[in-house]
A and B are shown apart, each in its own frame.
Chain A
């Protein structure tokens, strides 16, 4: 199941675990990333919490946790090479895997059609 947030994140949800990243639109808007800071595995976040930080040449931006949950895996490849987020934001440039506290909450997120409408 592929879901989106209004904060330009995508979630690929399988068996109660969401792989989370930023959308193509977000990656384009941010520009070339030079630094990514990921959360610790085992950290828990509420929806909207600051889970990660990305920095372009120009500015820092927060990546929010899209739903309540616990971080079970992070993508160290993007801290080693932040440009992966720009080149493949919805694939190899994923950020973290989140074990959802309440998998049913995902129903409240946007589907792909609704997200596409949001970004025009």
Chain B
């Protein structure tokens, strides 16, 4: 099936082609899966130096209270996510989850307090549905805008700060999860110190028409290589981060997914604003009493990658779970995976077996991340 004529292009499409990207369909867009260096080198380069990612397919949404009071927008967002939005300071960002009435996850997202509005970044494949969901649930109190007029890039890795500092010296004063407006190469940008690789780094929203110029400036730096979606996936897997649609979806709850840390005390039972989000009854109960299964890290003993879909069993051949993401970790220097296992099998060190091409390969429940994160807290 050739759907290429219907695929959308990001504002960096021409640049991607000129950089030798191999383009693939992803979430309705034509996206770079890798550049000339290839997935392995791109992955290792990001952890050693700095990598530049085109993530313009993701949805950027501004949420502005019709009352003019940003606290009203925070309160509205709190009806959609089990997260403390009201307590999120100006210039700060927080990870969040849209939940459904069954406690399942509709999407994972970032919410930033921009002072007079909130700025939300959602997954590409979910952005239309997320926008419709927000419009239906909080559209009466908030003005919502989906910004297809902006590109989004990520600059990730230990040299990211030094690279970005050449365009904007103030970057060094930002901490992990800070969000600031800035002027990069005469473009009106929003920079957050965050990412999806486990490395220190930045995500930068840029007006579409200026995005290529900003990227070319960053790529001029000898430490920067363009990085495709292939390495983005292996980097996030090593970092133990969930991919929506693989590791979390409407059938998994935040507690099952091991994302309790995203639910602050004020939204839990006994907190100042307990519940009040979709699926609260299920999620609050699981926070108190635990869930019957949980997402865990997995390390295979051999060299064979264990991929999503592989069945997990005990040595007694009882099926206890399924792998949701897996592959080869270039920095872990071996196969790494994550998946859901029943409560009895979640302890790190638990010996399991993964079904791969008709064989059962030994695999051990392991703590995540598989590489140490280097966030600048």
Contacts and interface: CB of A to CB of B under 8 A. Distances in A.
Co-assembled chains A and B: yes
Contacts of A34: 40, 303, 305, 328, 330
A87 interface: no
Contacts of B231: 57
A37 B304 contact: yes
Interface in B316-351: 327-328, 330, 335
Contacts of B305: 34-35, 55, 60
Nearest to B37: A32
A45 to B, nearest CB: 15
Nearest to B229: A58
B233 A58 contact: yes
Contacts of A60: 305, 307
A60 B307 CA distance: 9
Given A34-B303, A35-B303, A53-B357, A58 B327 contact: yes
A52 B273 CA distance: 57
Interface string A15-59: 000000000000000011011010000000000000001011111
A59 B306 CA distance: 10
Interface in B14-40: 33-34, 38-40
B307 A56 contact: no
Chain A interface size band reads: 10 to 19
A35 B335 CA distance: 10
A31 to B, nearest CB: 5
B303 A32 contact: no
A53 B328 CA distance: 15
B304 A55 contact: yes
Given A53-B357, A57-B40, A31 B303 contact: no
Contacts, number: 45
A55 B40 CA distance: 12
Interface SS of chain B: helix, strand, loop or mixed?
mixed
B357 A58 contact: no
A31 B230 contact: yes
A95 to B, nearest CB: 16
Q: Which of B33, B230, B233 has the most CB of A within 10 A?
A: B230
A57 B357 contact: no
A31 B328 contact: no
B328 A57 contact: yes
B234 interface: yes
Given A31-B34, A31-B230, A35-B328, A56 B39 contact: yes
Contacts of A53: 357
A50 to B, nearest CB: 8
A88 to B, nearest CB: 16
Interface string B77-115: 000000000000000000000000000000000000000
Contacts of B34: 31
B36 to A, nearest CB: 11
B193 interface: no
Q: Which of A35, A37, A57, A58 has the most CB of B within 10 A?
A: A57
Contacts of B304: 35, 37, 55
A17 B90 CA distance: 72
Nearest to A29: B22
B43 interface: yes
Given A57-B328, A58-B327, A60-B307, A32 B233 contact: no
A58 B303 contact: no
A20 to B, nearest CB: 19
B235 to A, nearest CB: 10
A86 to B, nearest CB: 9
A57 B303 contact: no
Nearest to A83: B40
A58 B231 CA distance: 8
Which 7 pairs show the lowest CB-CB distances between chains A and B? A32-B40, A34-B328, A57-B39, A55-B305, A58-B230, A35-B303, A57-B328
Given A37-B304, A57-B39, A58-B39, 14 more contacts: A31-B39, A32-B39, A34-B303, A34-B330, A35-B304, A35-B335, A55-B328, A56-B39, A56-B328, A58-B233, A58-B234, A58-B327, A59-B307, A60-B305
20 contacts: A31-B38, A31-B40, A31-B230, A32-B38, A32-B39, A32-B41, A34-B40, A34-B305, A37-B357, A55-B304, A55-B305, A56-B39, A57-B40, A57-B231, A57-B328, A58-B33, A58-B39, A58-B234, A59-B307, A60-B305
Interface of A: 31-32, 34-35, 37, 53, 55-60
